A and B are shown apart, each in its own frame.
Chain A
């Protein structure tokens, strides 16, 4: 084994400047792949970490003797959500909450750092007077806070406090409230519905990023092998055993990949400060959440292994028949099974699509499967279409450049596909996201931000309204009472949608309810004053506006957009890097032919034009085709084709083609370099 590694190392170093350049290209490809792979893993890790930090706030029913009461509520200030956890001890061994040194005593307020600073900067009558203590008793530790900007308060109360016996249900955020529950421990292992949705979205994003990444990584691995083809065939011809040939090449590929994986990890670490600034779910990220921790090891180890496997696969041809490589026979045609498989996937999806949205979780899993299948399908049909494009281009070519490009596409459609695969797959992502990318115009605009509402039992409505008027005396507010038309279970429909969350626990609620409504003039400051004044009016219930409840949905839409843009950015990075690297390696692979053509007087321009067309023609066809496929796959979930969707598409076309053109233009100096001294010599 040692001699194999030594030989590989020597081959690596002895390959000369150009051989070294080839290895550097592989190194760069593997580094970019590893970095992005770590990003995908890190994103999932981060969402899991957020979910874990959030879990304890949602009380779960006790199994043994209850030792504490826990309730959850959501308040609002300055258009931001504040999560309020209320706790009361039932006995001395009440469980210490995560991120706190001890169980909070009645009257204490522990806050997240962001809330503490907001309480300092906002006037007391707008925020801090809502809490039993105007200055925080303590700061919540890292394990109790979801993200650095999160506003959280843990309020200690006495078990007899009315706030810990009143049910809470008058809000639309199913996850943002929980009625007082007797607990003996925190639900640290569970997951809230919102956290689940985010983790699923992160999983979809990962599939969209990782599949092209693997295609690209595989191409990069094959790149090492392809360049060694000739030399390895020569080794075979002089009698090296297949085992030796495989060992040498694989060792060489694995050595390069291992260095690339380490470099990629460094790249990811360097990019982390920027990545943690991507705002999702109302805040940026803790670096320790985004860093995948121990998961780095398996990734860094798996990458060289995968590259090694890919190298073996690419080598099979050499080992099976050395002449196959040495003599370059006509490659076997691509089988018609490729387009058939793709068609089957599209047709199957077409049949199922209508039902997907009504299938709930099964539909989601089916969608994930179909997304992966669509990627595979595009990857299968790609080379086949490239071959056809080549046939057409070669058949209709008038000039030498087009003829060369067409024949090259026909000769090795897989290699040509590899150059454009990244962009084609990105086209699919862009098409898919263009329809899923809703514009803000779809939000219920004009939701009142100055009309505070609070739900009360019908019987006490008049009394409560009088108290409210009294509390709001000093403010320009008008208080009215409206009886609920239907018996409410705590759900206040605004638009008839999004009401299917499970009933949060309206058991304590008497059947008839009424709404006390306070219209406050004087902007956000006065509304926050009114909120503060009304705090505690109805124990366990906050006064909220319609606009408050839109914060959640607006945030989800914004997050979808941020996620889509992130996925697109990653895809483009993959696409452009892969176009640049495969383009450069195509030039390196064919340096002898290029040198010969130059020597016989072929102008550099013709060679360059041929090289460009070789990339551009399939790019146009495949980019457009996969864009259309992506649009098709998104139709069942289409939220409408808003201006954002159109912008996404325009950006895709501009960035995609511009990026690819720029990346492939990098091959031009390389082409010039390999042809400057056209004296023919075997490598």
Chain B
């Protein structure tokens, strides 16, 4: 069944309901290696739910999710947790940085959780600061960073464990447009540069424009898949 290029992550027939609300009504989505996919759609259409199902945060009611061909939706919470830690990266609108840790330790934390010794983890974490335009901010704490800077630290944090897929849910929703665009461009480029795939939920058509592909969600279903580039 496998086609070229093989998908890194795929969801088939995903259904998820919250009580009477059907958030996902049967969604198929495949993400290729180093591919950036934008998910768009009106509020409440099921974008976040789709992302959570793909990332192993939620278990879909029906359907399956595969990472590099292996099913991940039927794993126990402990295994999915380990998977999220090692194979996925996350960038959200708020709250993913620990306010009491300096920026470099925030980036090093997932590495330490993966078993890297503290010294090496912090060393590796600092390596991300220059390329992301954060040089000199290693010792600052999240409260002492601007919104854009904090999101770039979050991007470093997501990429540091060298994940297969990075998930982002409206990562720039709290930023002004110019800063938001800069940050998004950085996210898309840095992810691609590191060979990771990207699944990003956004309301901004410009952001979608930088991605390889955009899917549109309406009432829990994919509208028109636009294959190919923008």
Contact = CB atoms under 8 A, between A and B. Distances in A.
Contacts of B58: 679
B109 A599 contact: no
B118 A397 contact: yes
Interface stretch (A33-41, A146-154, A324-332, A569-577): A324-332
Nearest to A327: B143
A228 interface: no
A601 B52 contact: no
Contacts of A328: 99, 141-143
B118 A411 contact: no
Given A679-B48, A679-B57, A680-B169, A600 B118 contact: no
Interface in A645-681: 678-680
A65 B52 CA distance: 96
A592 interface: yes
Contacts of B99: 328, 411, 593
Interface string B102-117: 0001000110110001
A208 interface: no
Contacts of B105: 403, 407
B143 A330 contact: yes
A404 B117 contact: no
Contacts of A410: 100
B86 interface: yes
A606 interface: yes
A474 to B, nearest CB: 86
B96 A596 contact: yes
A608 B192 CA distance: 35
A603 B81 contact: yes
Contact of A596 (B86, B88, B95, B113): B95
B137 interface: no
A398 B113 contact: no
Given A328-B143, A679-B57, A679-B58, A602 B92 contact: no
A332 B48 CA distance: 39
A599 B90 contact: yes
A597 B83 contact: no
A601 B95 contact: no
Nearest to B86: A601
A593 B109 CA distance: 14
B186 interface: no
Contacts of A679: 48, 52, 57-58
Contacts of B169: 680
A58 interface: no
Given A330-B144, A403-B118, A600 B112 contact: no
Contacts of B223: none
B22 interface: no
Contacts of B141: 328-330
A592 B84 CA distance: 18
A185 interface: no
B63 to A, nearest CB: 18
B124 interface: no
A611 interface: no
A682 interface: yes
A182 interface: no
Interface in A313-335: 327-330
A410 B96 CA distance: 20
A102 B121 CA distance: 90
A405 to B, nearest CB: 10
A506 B101 CA distance: 78
B55 to A, nearest CB: 8
B101 A407 contact: yes
Contacts of A596: 92, 95-96
Contacts of B92: 596, 680
Contacts of B144: 329-330
B82 A601 contact: yes
A412 B143 CA distance: 14
A321 to B, nearest CB: 13
A603 B84 contact: no
Contacts of B82: 601, 603
Given A328-B142, A599-B90, A678-B57, A400 B81 contact: no
A400 B96 contact: no
A451 interface: no
A601 B112 contact: no
Interface string B57-94: 11000000000000000000010011111101010111
B98 interface: yes
Interface in A605-619: 606
Contact of A597 (B93, B94, B98): B98
B184 to A, nearest CB: 18
A189 interface: no
A603 B112 contact: no
Given A329-B143, A330-B143, A679-B58, A603 B78 contact: yes
- Give the most central of A397, A404, A599: most B CB within 10 Å: A599
A397 B108 CA distance: 13
B98 A593 contact: yes
A404 B98 contact: yes
Contacts of B112: 399-400, 403
B143 A602 contact: no
Given A408-B100, A678-B57, A602 B95 contact: no
B118 A603 contact: no
24 contacts: A328-B99, A329-B143, A330-B144, A397-B118, A398-B117, A400-B109, A403-B112, A407-B105, A408-B100, A411-B99, A411-B100, A412-B100, A596-B92, A599-B90, A600-B90, A601-B81, A601-B83, A601-B85, A601-B88, A601-B113, A603-B82, A606-B113, A678-B57, A680-B92
Q: Which 5 pairs across A and B sit closest by C-beta, in order of nearness? A: A601-B85, A601-B84, A411-B100, A328-B143, A400-B112
Interface of B: 48, 52, 57-58, 78, 81-86, 88, 90, 92-96, 98-101, 105, 109-110, 112-113, 117-118, 141-144, 169
Given A399-B118, A601-B83, 11 more contacts: A328-B143, A330-B141, A403-B112, A407-B100, A597-B98, A600-B90, A601-B113, A602-B85, A602-B113, A603-B78, A679-B57
